[in-house]
Structure 1
Amino acid sequence: MKKKEDVYGDHISHQFNEDLAGLKEDFLRMGGMVEQQVVDAIDALIDGDGHRADEIRGRDKQVDRLELEIDEEATRIIARRQPAARDLRLVISVIKMVSDLERIGDEAKKIAKFALSLSEEGKAPRGYVEVRHIGNHVGQMLRDALDAFARLDSELALRIMKEDKRVDEEYQAATRTLITFMMEDPRNISRCMSIMWVLRALERIGDHSCNLAEHVIFMAKGEDVRHTPMEEAEKVVGN
């Protein structure tokens, strides 16, 4: 694959370059924090580690605080630098993308909450294989979305968008399996329902990762591919 060129940060003003670079670095730092939250929450659930689950829930405040700081940073850049064209797309996209990162953090917090309750009640009899599988899938989507942002890689972003449909299919299959099991053995409904909520949170993480990818395409191509058919998005990336 050809190397992607970062078209940002080539201004005469050294300070403007630093402002944009700092914004990108802070976004990626927040992304790394959220990515680790997701990984740790899944591990806590599968390992039945209530202590780790409780610690993950506490980390959510750090993510919320960083979201506010990045929003303020982006607002200052708009006010002071009055960016245009590609730079404006970067700043606006970051403002929107931090919201998706914060929501991914919220979903990780939900998973941690169910991990904590299941560590106290006892593990559910089914669903952990599906959690691990879908968790790995959406975790890779999130990592790829952050990588696509860092390299301004619209082709990688497009692949992430295509993965979202597969995640939806995996989620639907997993919930059908759990519903069938609960119908056969109603004694486990409560704990299986917790796993179903975890699967729902993972599916939402996939949705938010897809949103991140759509913003990367907007940054790279100047075209908004949200709510457009995949064929149209492919044409945008191919141009």
Structure 2
Amino acid sequence: MSDNNQQGFSAEMDRARQRLQAISSLALQQFEQAITAYQNVNSQLAQQVLSQLQRAHDFELDMDDHCLDMLSHTASDRDLRLVLALLKAISDIEQICNQNAQIAQQVLLNTAAKPSIKQLEAISTLAEPVGTMLALALSALQQPGSAKAEQALSLAATVNRCYGAILRSNLANNVNQAGQVDTALGVDWVARALERIAEHSVNLAKQAVFMAKVSSGQSSRVELQPRRPR
């Protein structure tokens, strides 16, 4: 690649990272608002979270177009891998925004089946490591490296443990308490959304590590991560 092309690609990559930072900030803010809305049964805040979903979709479409334009000017394997990693990362972030909206949606459905204090505490216990994972993974993408990404990955076991505890508790309560099925299902939906956010955060953390390796010349291929159905 000529010097001019390389400079042009670097400038496009800088703009792509700025867009990535913008949608990352949106996803993190939306997550915090969704959890606050759920904990406080705040319908107005939940509606605000839902209203931001189209903006997240628009971010993804713009980023896709930007990356496709970058691909047309890419000649080196290194640059190609960076663009593909960005495309995968933006897809995960957009899916996180979708899960945030799922949590907000449950607020609007909770009017007839409000969670108990114990259930809300369990969701808060799960949301704490998930939020930390998300923040660390998004931060790692801005400054690709292993430290914050590894911290994010280390929380996966805690998330799985908290998620499993919620499912087991709700199952036991459903057996022993008639009329609690709708409430338990709503809590399970929120817990599932949080677990999916953690899963996408794991993908983001791995992409951050991969991009750091590519930038330093340590990786020679595109490392595709397995995906679950959306």
- TM bin (shorter chain): 0.7 to 0.9
Within-5 A mapping of 1:3-82: 13-79=6-72, 81-82=73-74
Equivalent position to 1:174, from 159, 166, 174:
166
2:205 corresponds in structure 1 to: 213
Q: Which runs of 5+ in 1 are unaligned?
A: 1-9, 228-239
Please, what TM-score do these two structures have when normalized by structure 2?
A: 0.87
Q: Deviation of residue 144 (structure 1)?
A: 0.5
Residues 49-58 or 22-31, more deviating: 49-58
Q: Deviation of residue 91 (structure 1)?
A: 1.0
Cα contact 2:137–2:201 (8 A) shared by 1:
yes
Count residues in correspondence.
216
Please, what TM-score do these two structures have when normalized by structure 1?
A: 0.84
Counterpart secondary structure, 2:121: helix
Cα contact 2:144–2:212 (8 A) shared by 1:
yes
Equivalent position to 1:153, from 145, 155, 165:
145
Counterpart secondary structure, 2:114: coil
Cα contact 2:92–2:204 (8 A) shared by 1:
yes
Counterpart secondary structure, 1:127: helix
Are residue 136 (structure 1) and residue 99 (structure 2) matched?
no
Aligned-partner Cα distance in 1 for 2:161–2:75: 41
Cα contact 2:12–2:70 (8 A) shared by 1:
yes
Residues 52-61 or 202-211, more deviating: 52-61
**Percent identity of the aligned residues?**
26
Cα contact 2:133–2:152 (8 A) shared by 1:
yes
Q: Deviation of residue 88 (structure 1)?
A: 2.1
1:235 corresponds in structure 2 to: none
Hey, which bits of structure 1, 4+ residues long, moved more than 3 A?
Answer: 10-15
Aligned-partner Cα distance in 2 for 1:137–1:147: 15
Are residue 107 (structure 1) and residue 91 (structure 2) matched?
no
Q: Deviation of residue 12 (structure 1)?
A: 7.7
Query: What value does the CA root-mean-square deviation take over the aligned residues?
Result: 1.9
Cα contact 2:64–2:87 (8 A) shared by 1:
yes
Distance change >3 Å, CA 134–CA 171, structure 1 → 2: same
Residues 166-175 or 215-224, more deviating: 215-224
Q: Deviation of residue 142 (structure 1)?
A: 0.9
2:216 corresponds in structure 1 to: none
Aligned-partner Cα distance in 1 for 2:157–2:199: 9
